[in-house]
């Protein structure tokens, strides 16, 4: 093979890969483009690629079509609360399962695995009824407390902690450290990568969650952003795509910006979760 043929072959490879990635990126670009078009432009066929004058007003229309500030802050409160509570619950649990021998531990751990396998799609009816029974149906709690135990997180962190040599804990005991200190000063700093993965996972899945808030909420006051945006079609009319896409951009942009800046860590975290 001559050198020039090799270069041609190489560039075709590059082009095909770029085409592939376009298939996955283009819809987002299309979303942004539409969100800046006029209603008239969206009706054109062949479609308008780039709006003549960017219509930022669409964002205002979308934002004012519902209590979006409430939606946004609900999403933030729910996601942050879940991550904080999960960490408080899962760290001691994972440590207990990883480093202590106690009666019934394998049975109790199998319950964790069970929790990992049973999805919310199975339990949502009874949980919804429980929440209304407890009188907290109209608060944010039904979207937070059912997620207090992150079974996947316990599983992942336990795997991680099991690899920490026993001698480290023994050395700390000889250094007269309390059990809490061992956990706080040695185990937690050592498991930062695992904890970051777990937190990131929680963030992405709860910020994006649609099913659970949909079935748990009856009023706008407690709805998160995903449900709010999904209702744009009902409030703004089925064919007002420019406004719907503007709302959609509001939902996607925070995650996309985070991804743009730390895609490497995010990719790593997801790969880590899959290989374990």
Partner 1 sequence: MGKKRVSSVIRPYLMILPAMIGIGVFVIYPIFYLAYLSLHKYNLMNPAKSKFIGLDNYADLFARDEFYKVLGNTALYTFATVLITLVLSVAIAVWVSKNTKFNQFIQAGIFTPHIVSIVSIALVWMWMMEPSLGFLNYILKSVGLPTSQWLQSSSTAMASIIFVSVWQGIGYYVLIIVAALQGVSPSIYEAASLDNASKWKIFYKITLPMISPQLFFILIIMTIGSFKVFDTVRMMTLGGPNNSTNTLVYYIYQNRTTNIGYASATGMVLMLVIGILTFVYFRMLANKVHYQ
Partner 2 sequence: MASIELKNITKTFEKHDVIKDLNLTIEDGKFTVLVGPSGCGKTTLLRMIAGLDPQTSGQVLVGGKDVSKTAPGQRGIAMVFQNYAIYPTMSVRENIEFGLKNNKVPKAERIELVESISETVGLKDYLDRKPSTLSGGQRQRVALARAMVKKPSVFLMDEPLSNLDAKLRVQMRIELIELHKKLGTTFVYVTHDQVEAMSMADKIVLMNKGVIQQEAPPEVMYHTPSNQFTAQFIGVPPMNITYVREKQLTFGFRPESAAIGRSPQQGLVQTSGEIITREMLGSETIYQIKTPLDTFMIKSIDDQYRVNETVYVSLPEEKIHFFDDQEKRIAQDSSLYLDKIQALRGQYYG
**Which residues, numbered 180-239, are part of the site for partner 2 (CB under 8 A)?**
181, 185-186, 189-190, 192
CA dist., res. 46 & res. 226, Å (int): 30
Q: 168 contacts which partner out of partner 1, partner 2, none, CB within 5 to 8 A by kind?
A: partner 2
Residue 177 makes contact with partner 2 by CB under 8 A: yes
Count of residues that bind partner 1 according to CB under 8 A: 85
Residue written as token pair 């790593």: 268
Residue 118 makes contact with partner 1 by CB under 8 A: yes
Residue 76 makes contact with partner 1 by CB under 8 A: no
Tokens of 141: 């709690």
CA dist., res. 184 & res. 190, Å (int): 10
Residue 176 makes contact with partner 2 by CB under 8 A: yes
Could you say which of 167, 238, 260, 264 contacts partner 2 (CB under 8 A)? 167
CB of 69 to partner 1, least distance (A): 18
Tally: H helices and E strands in the chain: 15, 0
Residue 15 makes contact with partner 1 by CB under 8 A: no
Nearer to partner 2, 20 or 162 (CB): 162
DSSP labels, 65-77? TTTHHHHHHHHHH
Q: Where are the beta strands (DSSP E) in 120-273?
A: none
Nearer to partner 2, 187 or 222 (CB): 187
DSSP state of 186: I
């Amino acid at each position: 093979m001559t050198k020039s043929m090799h270069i041609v072959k190489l560039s075709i490879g590059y082009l095909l890969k770029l085409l592939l990635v376009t298939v996955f990126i283009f819809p987002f670009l299309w979303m942004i483009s539409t969100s800046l078009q006029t209603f008239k432009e969206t009706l054109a066929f062949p479609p308008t690629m780039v709006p003549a004058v960017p219509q930022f007003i669409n964002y205002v229309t979308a934002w004012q079509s519902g209590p979006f500030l409430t939606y946004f802050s609900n999403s933030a409160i729910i996601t942050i609360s879940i991550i904080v509570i999960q960490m408080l619950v899962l760290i001691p649990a994972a440590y207990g399962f990883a480093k202590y021998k106690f009666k019934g531990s394998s049975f109790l751990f199998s319950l964790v695995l069970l929790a990992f396998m049973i999805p919310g799609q199975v339990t949502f009816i009874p949980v919804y009824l429980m929440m209304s029974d407890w009188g907290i149906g109209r608060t944010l709690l039904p979207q937070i407390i059912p997620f207090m135990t992150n079974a996947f997180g316990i599983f992942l962190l336990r795997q991680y902690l099991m690899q920490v040599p026993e001698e480290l804990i023994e050395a700390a005991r000889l250094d007269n450290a309390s059990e809490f200190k061992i956990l706080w000063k040695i185990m937690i700093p050592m498991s930062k990568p695992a904890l970051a993965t777990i937190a990131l996972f929680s963030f992405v899945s709860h910020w994006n969650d649609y099913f659970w808030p949909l079935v748990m909420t009856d009023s706008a006051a407690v709805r998160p952003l995903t449900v709010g945006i999904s209702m744009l079609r009902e409030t703004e009319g089925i064919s007002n795509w420019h406004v719907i896409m503007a709302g959609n951009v509001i939902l996607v942009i925070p995650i996309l910006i985070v991804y743009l800046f730390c895609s490497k860590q995010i990719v790593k975290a997801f790969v880590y979760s899959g290989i374990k």
